[in-house]
Amino acid sequence: MNRTVVVGSATPEQRRLLQVGQAMLEAGMTDLITIPFAGHGLGIGLHDHPYIMPQSDTILEKNMVFALEPGVYAAGIGGSRPEDMVLVTGNGCEILTHWLRDFDMLI
């Protein structure tokens, strides 16, 4: 799991990136996000198959676990790449990560 933090005081632009990153993660939980790379399977490597991206032919099935980690970056400002582990259920997903998700609590 990943969380993005700012050391010191965040600029308004950095706060916006953190907000967008969090919104992208939450949108991914409801199947609303389509970006080049939104997540991946878990294994012994850093990013294992299946990859969560539009061109993937993998069908997510009940009981699969993967990392959802959309990212947003802006030159000269920074980036945000929050990540949660999720379990695919019969009704959507269950978040397995039990750590702060409110970016205001992290900066």
Domain architecture of the chain: domains with CATH: 12-105 (3.90.230.10)
The 10s digit of each residue's pLDDT in 5-33 is 788 888 898 888 888 888 888 877 766 55
Average pLDDT estimate for 36-45:
82
106 three-class SS: coil
Q: How confident is the model at residue 35 (pLDDT cuts 50, 70, 90)?
A: low
Spatial distance between the Cα atoms of 63 and 65, rounded to a whole number of angstroms? 6
The 10s digit of each residue's pLDDT in 48-89 is 888 888 888 888 899 999 998 888 888 888 888 888 899 999
Q: What is the 3-state secondary structure (H, E, C) of 36-47?
A: CCCEEECCCCCC
